[in-house]
Structure 1
Amino acid sequence: MTAVTGNILNTQTHILKIELEPNDTQQLANLCGLHNDHLKLIENRMNVIIRNRSNQFQLAGEQNRVRAAANLLESLYLEAASTELSPEMIHLHLQESGIEELEQQTQQDSEGAADSIVTLRTPKGTIKPRGPNQQRYVRTVLTNDINFGVGPAGTGKTYLAVACAVEALTNDEVRRILLVRPAVEAGEKLGFLPGDLSQKVDPYLRPLYDALYEMLGFEQVARLIEKNVIEVAPLAYMRGRTLNNAFIILDESQNTTREQMKMFLTRIGFGSTAVITGDVTQIDLPKGQKSGLVHVLDVLGDVDGIGVTRFESKDVVRHPMVQRIVEAYDKHETEARIQEDAERKARAEARMKAQAEAIAQNTQQAQPVKDSSDHE
């Protein structure tokens, strides 16, 4: 790498030149994408300028962004030798690079974080959390008995919880995995549905099953369920049980009531780890009923031994459009909340003013009328 500092458009700009080896035309075309779409995506997301001639690249921008972009190009070029790159893969690598935190962290902070990257090993492959927040989330799960992963869909909170559970089971750290989810759509009353318990709750646990199949394989998952090593159950069936030496995942926990959340947390026994995931913006409880997830975060947020990781739209690792959708909804809900608060305040002030006027009028009417004869 060759680095120089220049002045472009009166802005202090760092210029970095790199040469990617080997100089392979097909590999370079795979890296750059059709019409350089991959390079344009990296430019837009990382706020840098990328120019290349064959395998020689020149990057310009802020120093920390330029170095991060250069590292990303080198990583993608290695992958381009054996894998057909796509915009989705570029997006995932961008998330992994931690670009959203570049403005808040020095380059030394980024290098220090890279030294402690956590990976999860499952029978079907190694899973590497993408981005700083996913890394923090996994570290938190590995070091705390009770953990909360809170944030929008697509941030990997449930998928990584399953990966942690599979690794713990594979390493004999726990004896079984329990997958739990509140069946709000059925009002927690599953008795009228056809089939056994597993068949009744399968539709609600499908995302968890999909992750298990990917990490263990379909046949192995089926065997473990048959042996009750992996157990699926609706939240209502947890009452009265004590769960020892287990890895327990409560998904969609925003749809628990306060009583259900307390009941679930008090089921956790010795040698167990619990991960509670949810999105507080997607509550399906009846109107007026407070979410158990919202309540428990207020109650237990500062308790030692309980880990809380909050994800944001920038942590979404699905299609880039999903991230923009989440951000748009967040903005709309924030504006609606501000307007609602302002209207509530205005109504309260109007009531107080009306009450003050009524009191003043009543006071005036209650004053005695003076008789002129008193002065005679």
Structure 2
Amino acid sequence: MAVKPNTQKRVPKNPIKFQLTLNEEQKEAKRLILANAITVIKGKAGSGKTLVACQAALDMLFTRQIDSIVITRPTVSKEDIGFLPGSLAEKMDPWVSPIYANMYNLYKREKIDAIIHEGLVEIVPLSFMRGRTFLNSFIIVDEAQNVTHDQMEMILSRIGINSKMVICGDLRQNDLKIQSSTGFDFLCQLKGKVKNFDIIELQKNHRHSIVDEILREYNTLLEK
């Protein structure tokens, strides 16, 4: 779906009121997003990486600082996306539905549905990104631990003028067949070497408390 210009009539005078409030480390992540062109958010499952990215993206869209939100994530699956039925958006739906769910949790469903219908949110599979330049956009790269080195280089070079990119990932959730092929690990080594680039790791779990216990036991098992 082609992205249309942001046609909101006016910039809101007051801060956007979201349905969920960020905690302190998430607020710091959002501050880094607003201060940099590219921000990497690391963190275990349930730490709110994608939630923060979505909140920052919606905030900038609603205040007309950007024209569109671009969402991409690797489709790590044995089934090629080209063989799935339906339109491109329908093919990508299983992979991007968690991002939509975060948006619905953050703001009124009818408003989120409206910006999607208006084309202000664009879903772009990694295989369709080459050759694109995203201007005046907020690009969310989710599940980036499953992005290869070559794909990561290609993604990073898509950012255009007046755009921001947030890359979310967790190496502990690497699903690549050759795990060493992930480009996320190398990306996390760029802090301090590239201007307008920063990294933050979220620590707090926002799901059921049992998630922390399960992850701790799994990590202990893997370390043996």
Q: TM-score, normalised by structure 1?
A: 0.53
Structure 2: how far apart are the matches of 1:251 and 1:319?
22
Larger mean Cα displacement after TM superposition, 139-148 or 213-222? 213-222
1:225-264 correspondence runs (5 A): 225-264=116-155
Look up the match of 1:301: 191
Match for 1:182 among 71, 74, 95?
A: 74
CA shift, 1:282, in A, is 0.9
Look up the match of 1:168: 60
CA shift, 1:241, in A, is 0.1
Is it true that 1:324 corresponds to 2:213 in the alignment? yes
Greater RCO (CA < 8 Å, at least 6 residues apart): 2
Is it true that 1:128 corresponds to 2:21 in the alignment? yes
Q: TM-score, normalised by structure 2?
A: 0.86
Q: SS where residue 185 of structure 1 aligns?
A: coil
> Is the Cα contact below 8 Å between 2:75 and 2:95 reproduced in 1?
yes
Kindly tell me: are residues 143 and 283 of structure 1, through their superposed partners in 2, closer, same or farther at Cα, counting changes over 3 Å?
same
Look up the match of 2:4: none
The residue identity in structure 2 corresponding to 1:245 is: N
Kindly tell me: are residues 222 and 128 of structure 1, through their superposed partners in 2, closer, same or farther at Cα, counting changes over 3 Å?
closer
What is the CA RMSD across the aligned residues, in angstroms? 1.9
> Is the Cα contact below 8 Å between 2:47 and 2:206 reproduced in 1?
yes
CA shift, 1:212, in A, is 1.6
Q: SS where residue 69 of structure 2 aligns?
A: strand
Q: SS where residue 220 of structure 2 aligns?
A: helix
- Structure 2: segments with no counterpart, 5+ residues: 1-13
CA shift, 1:289, in A, is 4.4
Look up the match of 1:210: 101
CA shift, 1:288, in A, is 5.3
Task: State, as a whole percentage, how many aligned pairs show the same letter.
Answer: 35
CA distances 1:315-339 after superposition (whole Å, capped 9, x unpaired):
1121111122222223333x23xxx
1:260-271 correspondence runs (5 A): 260-271=151-162
User: Greater Rg, structure 1 or structure 2?
Assistant: 1
Structure 2: how far apart are the matches of 1:258 and 1:158?
21
Structure 1: how far apart are the matches of 2:72 and 2:179?
24
> Is the Cα contact below 8 Å between 2:145 and 2:170 reproduced in 1?
yes
The residue identity in structure 1 corresponding to 2:182 is: S
Number of aligned residue pairs: 210
